[in-house]
Chain A
């Protein structure tokens, strides 16, 4: 569990502001993912990256952006274009080799008012 971290745990922003959520892993995993979790909606995929300098949109990418400049880091920016940004955001990583198991971070709860 300690191998993937997200910061901060709670984040508050005013409407109209962009905000960046941090995700770092020291597991040497190739793939990283961002999910949004809302009550009753499960885990919805925002973006994922299989390798450095490459990433793909998930099912709900509108209003979000990502970068993957380093293997260890996969920050998510919630832009002002995201209509309902208040949610719990989970980052995950996986090896893509022996196992496809996803290791999740502790999450960031974002509140936009």
Chain B
């Protein structure tokens, strides 16, 4: 079955700097790759997603890139702000079954 590896598990960046979180997946048939943000005490919420027919997608300060050949995808957050502090999960999906990575705890340092 699908296996999703996510790195790093913890990331600290200075406010205003960029943050990058990387994920790899094992099933080449996976065709949908969402990223979820979970703030402390709250439920996960979708922040951006990408389908396998697209290499890059951007939404304001957030971007996701996908390399199907290498089976990895990354989340990029630019100009980080205190409200970006949260746990971020990547996921890979095929036919409604979604497998999540173990999460990255992002700390934005003042």
Check B102 against A40 for contact (C-beta < 8 Å): yes
Check B9 against A40 for contact (C-beta < 8 Å): yes
> Contacts A41-B102, A43-B44 given: A100-B1 contact, CB under 8 Å?
no
B:75-110 near A, CB below 8 Å = 89, 91, 93, 96-103
Interface residues in A, total, Cβ within 8 A = 25
Interface residues in B, total, Cβ within 8 A = 22
A-B contact sample (15 more), CB < 8 A, given A33-B98, A43-B44: A31-B96, A41-B102, A42-B89, A43-B100, A43-B103, A44-B100, A58-B97, A59-B1, A90-B43, A96-B96, A100-B93, A101-B34, A101-B46, A104-B44, A105-B43
> Contacts A33-B98, A48-B96 given: A100-B34 contact, CB under 8 Å?
yes
* Closest residue on chain A to residue B87 by CB atoms: A42
> Contacts A42-B6, A100-B32 given: A106-B43 contact, CB under 8 Å?
yes
Interface residues as binary, B27-59 with A (CB distance below 8 Å gives 1, 0 otherwise): 000001010100000011110010000000000
Check B89 against A100 for contact (C-beta < 8 Å): no
Best-surrounded residue of A41, A45, A94 (most CB of chain B within 10 A): A45
- A20, CB-defined interface residue at 8 Å: no
B:5-33 near A, CB below 8 Å = 6, 9, 32
- A56, CB-defined interface residue at 8 Å: yes
Interface residues as binary, A83-111 with B (CB distance below 8 Å gives 1, 0 otherwise): 00000001000101000111011110000
* Closest residue on chain B to residue A31 by CB atoms: B96
Complex-state Cα separation, A94 to B101, whole angstroms? 19
